[in-house]
Structure 1
Amino acid sequence: MENVLLIQTRVVGALVLRETRTTFGNSQLGYFWAIANPALGIAVLVGLFSMIGRVPPYGDSLALFFATGLLTFELYKKLSSSLMGVFDSTKGLLAYPLVAETDVVLARALLIFATYIFIMFLFYGTLILFDLASYPRNADQVLLAVLATSLLGVGAGLVNAVLMRLWSTWKQIEGILSRPLFFISGIFFIPSAFPPSMVNLISWNPVLHCVEWVREGYYPNYNSVVLNKPYLLSIALTLLLVGLGAERLYRKKRI
């Protein structure tokens, strides 16, 4: 049993190294742009909102407010979209007996997760250094929220990957269906600013719960009116189980 776990760990480790080279190339600039893109996106939002005289919907820092929303959303979106094509991009590797579909999924998910943890640590640390943000009130809750977001993203990505195997047009359809998430996931607003009827409607969006969990963990006195951790985790686990089960069934049918 120990030998099997050791072999699988080595396989996943090798796949992570391969994903790193494939995603970022051999130059350091590739990884730099992966870090810089989210930071530039937040900087653009802060600049635009500052020019029109907008103040943050909560707290004193526009940069921190957008970071808690955008970085969380980007982590989910990156996982759900990147894992969609993971099977097609690694067809050659799946010919090896030691490499399973779940290994390539785990390797790509680990790389994305590690990259965004580094981005968040660097960005929040920079804001704190320049006195644009305080230390998180409950860093453990922020980390748990990031883990829950990752779980949701992996579950959605697995379901997308199986659907794309069965129906190649799903990539375009998923892109259209997921586009409104950018505007209803709390990046630009806090749910308490809306009437109860609107809050009930947007609370069905699990990504909004991810953002609210991060903000509740980061801000000292932030009390979310929509955050429902059991709901978020149940959606994430359901997607994960459906994705793993569907992948297993598809694999057996293919064999």
Structure 2
Amino acid sequence: MFDSLWLQIRVVAALTLRETRMTFGTSHAGYFWAIIQPLVSISFLVFLFYLIGRQSPYGTSLALFFSTAILTLELYNKLSVSLMRAFTSNKSLLTYPRIRETDTLFARLTLIACTFIVINLCFYTGLIALNLAELPAHPERIILAFLATCFLGFGIGTLNAILYQRNQAWQHFEKVVARPLFFLSGVFYIPSAMPPEAVAVLKWNPVLHLVEWTREGYYYNYESDVLNIFYPLSLAAILVLIGLFWERISRKQRV
């Protein structure tokens, strides 16, 4: 039992290293670009709000307010999109008996999670150094929100991988569904300050709850009337169970 588990851990570790080389190449420029991408998005929003004379919806730092939402949303999107192609891009490796489809999913999850840990540390450290943010009020909540985002992204990504493997046209439908998340996840506004009719719709978006969870962890007096921690966690657990069970059934059918 232990030997088998240790073998699978080694397989996932090897796949993670392979994914790292495929994603970032052999130079440091790839890692640098991974940090630059969200920086460009946040900088553009800060500049746009500055031009139109808008203040931060909460606190004094626009950069911090946008970062708490965009970094969470980027992590979720990266997982859901990257995991979608985990099976098809590793098709040749899946001919080896020791490598399973789920190993490719866990490898990409590990790589993306580790990458975004570095991105978050660089971003928030930079904001603190520039006096654009203070130390987080509740770091443990930020960590839990990060892990919950990984959990939800893994669940969605697993389903996407199975559906994409069956029909590659699924990627187009997924883009249509995911595109409104940028406007529905509280990037520009405080959800609790929205009209009740809008809140009734927004609260069905699990990413919004993860953003609110992150903000409650960072700001000292931020209290969200929308946040329901159990909703994204429960949804993520259901999606992961469905995805892994469906993958198992599909694997047996192929055999």
Short-chain TM bin: over 0.9
Shift of 1:2: 2.1
Q: Which runs of 5+ in 1 are unaligned?
A: none
Corresponding residue number in structure 2 for 1:169: 169
Corresponding residue number in structure 2 for 1:25: 25
Q: Which runs of 5+ in 2 are unaligned?
A: none
Letter in 1 for 2:11: V
Structure 1 position 42 matched with structure 2 position 56: no
Shift of 1:27: 1.2
Structure 1 position 239 matched with structure 2 position 239: yes
Shift of 1:36: 1.1
Shift of 1:178: 1.2
Q: Work out the CA distance in 2 between the residues paired with 1:25 and 1:11.
A: 20
Moved over 6 A (4+): none
Alignment of 1:105-124 (within 5 A): 105-124=105-124
Shift of 1:40: 1.5
Q: Work out the CA distance in 1 between the residues paired with 2:8 and 2:247.
A: 19
Q: Work out the CA distance in 2 between the residues paired with 1:144 and 1:195.
A: 28
Corresponding residue number in structure 2 for 1:83: 83
Q: Work out the CA distance in 1 between the residues paired with 2:244 and 2:6.
A: 22
Q: Work out the CA distance in 1 between the residues paired with 2:73 and 2:107.
A: 21
Corresponding residue number in structure 2 for 1:133: 133
Shift of 1:148: 0.3
Q: Work out the CA distance in 2 between the residues paired with 1:73 and 1:126.
A: 20
Shift of 1:41: 1.2
Corresponding residue number in structure 2 for 1:200: 200
Corresponding residue number in structure 2 for 1:72: 72
Corresponding residue number in structure 1 for 2:144: 144
Q: TM-score with structure 2 length normalisation? A: 0.98
Indicate the SS of the match to 2:234.
Answer: helix
Q: Work out the CA distance in 2 between the residues paired with 1:5 and 1:173.
A: 36
Aligned-CA RMSD value: 0.8
Corresponding residue number in structure 2 for 1:253: 253
Indicate the SS of the match to 2:54.
Answer: coil
| Percentage identity across paired residues of the two chains | 55
Greater Cα offset, 61-70 or 29-38: 29-38
Q: Work out the CA distance in 2 between the residues paired with 1:180 and 1:167.
A: 23
Letter in 2 for 1:146: F
Letter in 2 for 1:176: V
Residue correspondences, number: 255
Q: Work out the CA distance in 2 between the residues paired with 1:234 and 1:6.
A: 29
Q: Work out the CA distance in 1 between the residues paired with 2:218 and 2:194.
A: 22
- CA deviations 1:75-109 (Å, max 9, x no partner) are 00000011001100000111111111111100001
Q: Work out the CA distance in 2 between the residues paired with 1:225 and 1:22.
A: 42
Corresponding residue number in structure 1 for 2:9: 9
Q: Work out the CA distance in 1 between the residues paired with 2:188 and 2:241.
A: 32
Letter in 2 for 1:131: N
Indicate the SS of the match to 1:137.
Answer: coil
Q: Work out the CA distance in 2 between the residues paired with 1:174 and 1:61.
A: 33
Q: TM-score with structure 1 length normalisation? A: 0.98
Greater Cα offset, 117-126 or 160-169: 160-169
Corresponding residue number in structure 1 for 2:189: 189
Q: Work out the CA distance in 2 between the residues paired with 1:61 and 1:117.
A: 22
Q: Work out the CA distance in 2 between the residues paired with 1:139 and 1:38.
A: 21
Q: Work out the CA distance in 1 between the residues paired with 2:192 and 2:105.
A: 37
Q: Work out the CA distance in 1 between the residues paired with 2:189 and 2:242.
A: 32
Letter in 1 for 2:157: G
Greater Cα offset, 35-44 or 54-63: 35-44
